[in-house]
Amino acid sequence: MTQTPRPLDTHLLAHDRVYRHLRSRIMYGDLAPGQSLTLRGIGKEFGVSMTPAREAVRRLAAEGALTMSASGRVSTPALSNERIEELAALRALIEVELASRAMPRAHYALIDRLQTINNAVSEAVAHRDAVSYIRSNLEFHRTLYLRAQAPAMLAMAETVWLQLGPTMRALYGRLRRTEPPHFHKLIIAALRAGDEPGLRLAVRTDVTQGLRMLAT
């Protein structure tokens, strides 16, 4: 490692840059479900050839963030209700465990940061900004789970978020809510009180509730 000539963009490898950008877009709901992408289009957009575009796309597809038709056409996935329920259950399982592991290490500074992030969530809800809402909501969860010191579990949770990204966008886009996130307050309260069963319940409910209203 001589010296990276680029202070921004930690990894300067083309395929990684493309991967990260696309991943963000998908996870935070910039792309609607069913939207299709082309390798040449991605390449042109990022100023690279098809090769790194293909690697990024295949990686995303492997993580379930994109689906590939038999002919190799890629598009953002349109999830069935069963799939959504399953992914919600997975979120509940993993994230409850992460929260539980994070709790003993959650100091006041962390809780304050969660509070701050949660204000951003409320603001996004008030402005009906779906992308900001998803982004700050996930940041709230990630900030808490980071304290669990369980990178493999966190990676799994993020993979699930990734798969739900376009769907969440579609969901919150047609949502008329303006009330701030109630269950986040419960999470913070349980954290403050050191109430582990309460924390588990609050996380499970928060994670499950949003997806429940998908049942058509």
Partner DNA sequence: CAGGCTGGCATGTGATCACAAAGACTGTAT
Partner DNA sequence: ATACAGTCTTTGTGATCACATGCCAGCCTG
Task: Give the interface with its own copies as residue ranges (CB under 8 A).
Answer: 1, 15, 51, 54-55, 58-59, 62-64, 70, 82-83, 86-87, 89-90, 93-94, 97, 149-153, 155-156, 159, 163
Residue 109's binding partner among DNA, its own copies, none (Cβ under 5 to 8 angstroms by kind) is: none
Closest separation in Å from C-beta 108 to its own copies? 26
Instruction: Tell me the two tokens of residue 150.
Output: 């369980």
Residue 93's binding partner among its own copies, DNA, none (Cβ under 5 to 8 angstroms by kind) is: its own copies
Strand order in the sheet with 74-75: 36-37, 74-75, 67-68
Instruction: Round to whole Å and give the CA distance between 56 and 62.
Output: 10
Instruction: Tell me the two tokens of residue 6.
Output: 């680029």
- Using CB under 7 A as the binding rule, whether residue 162 contacts DNA is answered as no
DSSP string, 152-199: HHHHHHHHHHHHHHHHHHHHHHT----S--HHHHHHHHHHHHT-HHHH
Residue 156's binding partner among DNA, its own copies, none (Cβ under 5 to 8 angstroms by kind) is: its own copies
- Using CB under 7 A as the binding rule, whether residue 78 contacts DNA is answered as no
Q: Residue 1 or residue 215: which is nearer to its own copies going by CB?
A: 1
Contact 49, 185 (CB under 8 A): no
- Using CB under 7 A as the binding rule, whether residue 8 contacts DNA is answered as no
- Using CB under 7 A as the binding rule, whether residue 80 contacts DNA is answered as no
